[in-house]
Structure 1
Amino acid sequence: MGSLGEEDLEQLVIDYMESPMIASDELEKPSGVLMSLQDVLGAKGEKEKEIEEKIKSFIRRRKLSYKGDDEKKDVMKRIVSKLRSDGYDAFISRTSWDSSFDRLEGCRVFRCTRKYEFIDVMVASDRDGDDVNKLRRVIIDLDFKSQFELVKQTRCYKDVTEMLPTIFVASEVRLKRVVSLVCNEMKKSMKEEGMSRPPWRNKRYMQAKWLSENRLRVSGSKKGSWSLFDDGQGGEDAGTTSRGGIGLKTKCCFPIF
């Protein structure tokens, strides 16, 4: 093959310069669900930002870490103690809800009462007008991201879960929207991977972890002093913070054939 002449080389340069260029941000343009999730995660109220900054600063200063449930519970107690010393109405909440699996319609194989613990803070509403004096919940979960992890997942779902924070501070409304978006993508991911979706992976079940009507205040009472080593027994700690409270016993019901 002969060498390129000056005219041929010049033409190659012109062709390269005039060819359409694809910007890198277009190649990596986020999907609609990622943009929606980013918007919801970023739409923090002033109280949520304030509480999140306090918690992260406290964990960083005290060099707190946790692996198992026991260590996580200890860190939650320390955070509640810190928030209460700063004037917040903070406490550990425990939700409980019925979980069932029906092999056939109308034939319940088992029913178990599940439970989950996180931190609740009651704050004044950010809204103006009639709701200004009403209290609302700010939910703090120290292990939020791991609640949505899957063994097998699509690339799209992995991008979604990587966006989730480990420490999540949110209002009920914002948390519900995040869980709804992630669970919809989880359903698609499991279908594409050929995985059957168990009952504890549906949206209603996942939302019940934080938004169940059966919610107990298990640590941090307005009445009297509160100890770092409070075991949640007695006083207001053992009371329910919402209607329809039930016990935390596990029930397994099997069909009679």
Structure 2
Amino acid sequence: MIEIPGRFNQTAAAFDVAAARARPPCDSSSGSDHSPEDTADLWDLVESFIDREVRVLPEKVPEEDNDEDKSDVDEEDYEDVKERLREILENPGGKERRRIMEEAVKASGFVGEKRHMMAFLRNKGFDAGLCKSRWERFGKNTPGRYEYVDVNGEDKNRFIVETNLAGEFEIARPTTRYLSLLAQLPRVFVGTPEELKQLVRIMCFEIRRSMRRAGIDVPPWRRNGYLQAKWFGHYKRTSNEVVTSFKSCDCGPRVGFEEVVKTATYNGGFKEVERKMNDLKVSHLTMAFNGGGLGL
């Protein structure tokens, strides 16, 4: 049974916030603007905003509902939820998706930053981009920002690539049921936005369920609205492979020392590039020691 409190003002406010979210923000980030794909995405934001006003009550609460986790795993709907996750995650897709998955799995072994993953996929011939989402506070959801990689495929297909999807759903004091469902998530995920959206809905419901049993509140960063905003709100997409300027910090070389820089190469892993500063063969510090300049 579902109870929905009749609070028209809060619902109207939800639409106002969601509509504002759908408008491009005024910022100076590089890349092209992208708003939610359709009205269904807008409704997802509204739905997540008023999610706290919707209470799903079970028809019958088992007597062992507050017992240890073992009863949680044995509930009748556990296999249904597990099957829904399996259907989403085991969708073979087409040849293009399989190629993206194969290359993403290879890169995940040595590529750390998402920008490097994007560069690797572009080097393999895919139209990959780095998507930067950003949102303001709405409802109980805190403001935040997120980056993820996507690939624009053939026939207007779009795939989201995540190399640690399970990490986005880790929680404190998880039940056995939740740990079992979390274990279903692959290390590398490649799927359509709609598939990821379904997965987020399922996992957010299970997060609430698990944390309620543990007697703790769901943190803002694990709420449905917050996670939906990461992947399905307004974002900017860039395909620039190299960041060329760092204006916020003093990143210049230290005079008198050799600088060793690691640069990413995708045909041979990583290579060391040694640079000599000021055409010196040895550093000033070495010369000071050799010449007795320190008086030791």
Give the TM-score normalised by structure 2: 0.52
CA contact (8 A) 1:118 1:142 kept: no
Paired residue for 1:216, among 232, 236, 245?
A: 236
Q: Provide the C-alpha distance between the structure 2 equivalents of 1:230 and 1:168, rounded to a whole number of angstroms.
A: 29
Paired residue for 1:121, among 145, 148, 151?
A: 151
Aligned equivalent of 2:115:
77
2:198 partner SS: helix
CA contact (8 A) 1:101 1:199 kept: no
Change (3 A) 1:77 1:190: same
Task: Give a deviation string over 1:64-119, Cα, whole Å, max 9, x none.
Answer: 16xxxxxx32xx233222221222111111111123465xxxxxxxx853100110
Change (3 A) 1:140 1:232: farther
Paired residue for 2:193, among 160, 164, 172?
A: 172
Cα offset, 1:49, TM superposition = 1.9
Task: Give a deviation string over 1:157-182, Cα, whole Å, max 9, x none.
Answer: 01011111232111101100111111
Equivalent AA in structure 2 for residue 40 of structure 1: I
CA contact (8 A) 2:207 2:218 kept: no
Equivalent AA in structure 2 for residue 194 of structure 1: G
Cα offset, 1:230, TM superposition = 4.8
Equivalent AA in structure 2 for residue 165 of structure 1: P
Aligned equivalent of 1:43:
91
Equivalent AA in structure 2 for residue 81 of structure 1: A
Unpaired runs of at least 5, structure 1: 1-26, 66-71, 103-110, 126-134, 234-257
Change (3 A) 1:230 1:84: farther
Change (3 A) 1:230 1:142: farther
Runs of 4+ in 1 over 3 A off after TM superposition: 229-233
Q: Provide the C-alpha distance between the structure 2 equivalents of 1:183 and 1:78, rounded to a whole number of angstroms.
A: 29
Matched, 1:33 2:33: no
Aligned residues: 172
Aligned equivalent of 2:179:
158
Give RMSD over aligned pairs: 2.7
1:163 partner SS: coil
Q: Percent identity?
A: 26
Equivalent AA in structure 2 for residue 86 of structure 1: K
Q: Provide the C-alpha distance between the structure 2 equivalents of 1:83 and 1:158, rounded to a whole number of angstroms.
A: 31
Cα offset, 1:143, TM superposition = 2.0
Unpaired runs of at least 5, structure 2: 1-73, 248-296
